[in-house]
Amino acid sequence: MDAIVKTDFCFPQQKSLYVGKVRDVYDINDEYLVMVVSDRISAFDVVLPEGVPYKGQVLNQIAEKFLDATADIVPNWKIATPDPMVTVGHKCEPFKVEMVIRGYLTGSSWRTYRSGERTLCGLPLAEGMKENQKFPTPLITPTTKADEGHDENISREEIIAQGLVSREDYELLEKYTAELFQRGTEIAAEKGLILVDTKYEFGKKNGVIYLIDEIHTPDSSRYFYKDSYEELFAKGEKQKQLSKEFVREWLMENGFQGLDGQKVPEMTPVVVAGIAERYIELYESIIGEKFEKAEETDVQKRIEENVTACLNSL
């Protein structure tokens, strides 16, 4: 299958198109959004030159399943999934913060800790912790949502003081974040996985808070394998993880970390096929079902017909 790296549809009542690193988001009359999850892949804030077949389908269908599995906790933006690569949902006004929640001291939080810091987003961290150690209680460590550049860590008090989110709304965001992470943790455990950390985005429509965007995908979350966690932690060894970290590792091994002057290594058909296989493996591990590849003939036409039929029914 050819990877879908660019779309340029003209849907009924379409007002605009926003092209993100991976998602193409079509605004339908300021009421609905059509989110096409492309096969583009990014790492180190750079969109790589080759798309990965089925990656968009994998991410879209994981998000779909987790949105459905958490709809009793908080309303979410999804109305329908008319195509394997597309979600149609409510257009909400996004909050200007992302709700990051961490169950373990790893990644950027470990780098901060190792540098000597003992607070994270205003929260105290105990002395003597080790990399990948479980926190007594998951920590909510929000970030700003930057229009350009990198998101920045921010504390609860700063968010409220700066008026980014009202106190009443922020307390609800924290409650939803903790409950979503608990549900994600329980579902992961059933599949032999540990949900390590993740991020959620929320928005508002008609005064109601909605969960928006993706949820619990390998692009927005980190998973460890449960059966090897304790042994590897005790030895101080690297955890076996389920995320797109393997793409970053391949790039680093080939001399690329997104720095000025560095060139993306050649993504041969063999490399691309290998990444596609890993994404399918991620899907099957996280969802616990065999991945069914979508129909391959004229994918753009398929998407246009499926989405148009969905919009006409709303």
**Could you tell me if residue 264 is left (phi over 0), alpha (psi between -120 and 50 degrees) or otherwise beta?**
beta
Supply the angle between the helices 167-190 and 55-69 in degrees, to the nearest 10.
110
Percentage of the chain beyond pLDDT 70 is 98
Residue 200, domain CATH: 3.30.470.20
Mean pLDDT over residues 238-252, rounded? 89
SS3 content of the chain, % helix, strand, coil (to 5): 35, 25, 40
Helix (H) or strand (E) holding 135: strand 134-140
Domain that holds residue 156: 94-207+219-241
Closest CA relative to residue 310, chosen from 34, 23, 6, 17: 34
The gap between the terminal CA atoms of the chain, to the nearest Å, is 31
- Is the CB of residue 88 less than 8 Å from the CB of residue 33? yes
Instruction: Give the confidence band of 230 by pLDDT, cuts at 50, 70, 90.
Output: very high
CA distance linking residue 88 with residue 63, whole number of Å? 12
Global pTM reads 0.92
CA distance linking residue 100 with residue 139, whole number of Å? 8
The answer on pLDDT for 219 being more than 70 is yes
User: Strand 86-90 and strand 119-120: pairing?
Assistant: unpaired
- Rounded to 10 degrees, the C-alpha dihedral 245/6/151/176 comes to -80
The answer on pLDDT for 151 being more than 80 is no
Report if residue 10 sits inside a domain: no
Report if residue 299 sits inside a domain: no
Mean pLDDT over residues 242-252, rounded? 88
- Is the CB of residue 35 less than 8 Å from the CB of residue 87? yes
Q: What pLDDT sits at residue 147?
A: 64
Report if residue 202 sits inside a domain: yes
The three-state secondary structure class of 192 is coil
Percentage of the chain beyond pLDDT 90 is 89
The answer on pLDDT for 295 being more than 90 is no
pLDDT tens track for 54-102: 999 999 999 999 999 999 999 999 999 999 999 999 999 999 999 999 9
Report if residue 37 sits inside a domain: no
**pLDDT-wise least confident of 26-40, 100-114, 155-169, 241-255:** 241-255
Report if residue 47 sits inside a domain: no
Report if residue 41 sits inside a domain: no
Tally the domains of the chain: 1
CA distance linking residue 310 with residue 218, whole number of Å? 27
Q: What pLDDT sits at residue 2?
A: 85
> What mean pLDDT, rounded, does the chain reach?
95
Report if residue 212 sits inside a domain: no
Report if residue 58 sits inside a domain: no
Q: What pLDDT sits at residue 148?
A: 60
